[in-house]
Amino acid sequence: MNTVVAKGPAITRDEKLEALVDRYQVSLLKVCFTFLHDRGLAEDAVQETFVKVYQSLDSFKGNSSEKTWVFRIAMNTCRDMLRSRWFRFVDRRVDLSQLPEQTAQLEDGDKEIMESVMALPIKLREVILLCTFEGMTTYEAADALGITQQAVSSRLKRAKEKLKKELIEKGCDLS
């Protein structure tokens, strides 16, 4: 007996993009802001990321998870911006004043933690962003950053040690 499988309407590329933008835009914006220290540049980086995503939607084979793929593109975009001439004009201080007013109630130590994460060297900041903030496994973070799992674990350890030390100096406890 022949079976007829009912198929829903095919999802267009534009619809796929819209779904990805809905899903990842805000978390990418947060990651890019922490990475680049600048809200305007972070918005640019997110847009650039989705342009690259849109252009390579057809070539995404699913060898890594969709999230890892999108974040890999975002991290590379941020790194490129870091290399570009535009980035070098950015305020060197960690400045949270350009963030819009919080919609969530801040707790004691929140700003100190945020500032300390932003002040980490780039390589350590990357792993904190992906593993701790985005909850990726070391395997996923390694895939997104194009480094080994071992390197991720070692950087994560160093990043947390540095963070704790910084925060203790600021009189802030992580526990």
Partner 1 sequence: MTENREDERIKSAMNRTMSGLEGNPYLARRVVTVSKGEVKVKKKLSFVTVMTIALMLISVTALALELSGWKIADYIRNVGEGKVDENFESGFNQDLTLDFEGVRFHVRDAYAAGNKIIIVTEVSCLKNETTMILPSETICDPDVTVARQYIKELAGVDDEITLSDYAKQKGLSMIHVYVNAQQKGTYPIVSGDEWIENDTTLVSITSANYLEVENGEVEVEWEVGVFDDSSDDPLTTKTLDFHLPVENVQEIEIDVQQTVTAGDILVSLDRMVLLPTRLDTQVELYYHTGSRQSAEQLLEYRFIAIDPSSLSFLDEGSFSSGPEILDMETQSAYMRDFWTLGGPLETDKLYLQLLPVYSWAKEGVEMDQGLQDVQIIKINIPEKD
99 touches partner 1 (CB under 8 A): yes
147 touches partner 1 (CB under 8 A): no
Q: Cα-flanking dihedrals φ and ψ of residue 126, to 5°?
A: -55, -45
Q: Where does the chain show beta strands of DSSP type E?
A: none
6 touches partner 1 (CB under 8 A): no
106 touches partner 1 (CB under 8 A): yes
* Inter-residue contact 141 to 131 (CB < 8 Å): yes
113 touches partner 1 (CB under 8 A): yes
Contacts of 98 (CB under 8 A, 6+ apart): 38, 39
Q: Which is nearer to partner 1, 25 or 64 (CB)?
A: 25
Contact flags string 57-96 toward partner 1, x per CB under 8 A? ----------------------x--xxxxx-xxxxxx-xx
Q: Which is nearer to partner 1, 5 or 35 (CB)?
A: 35
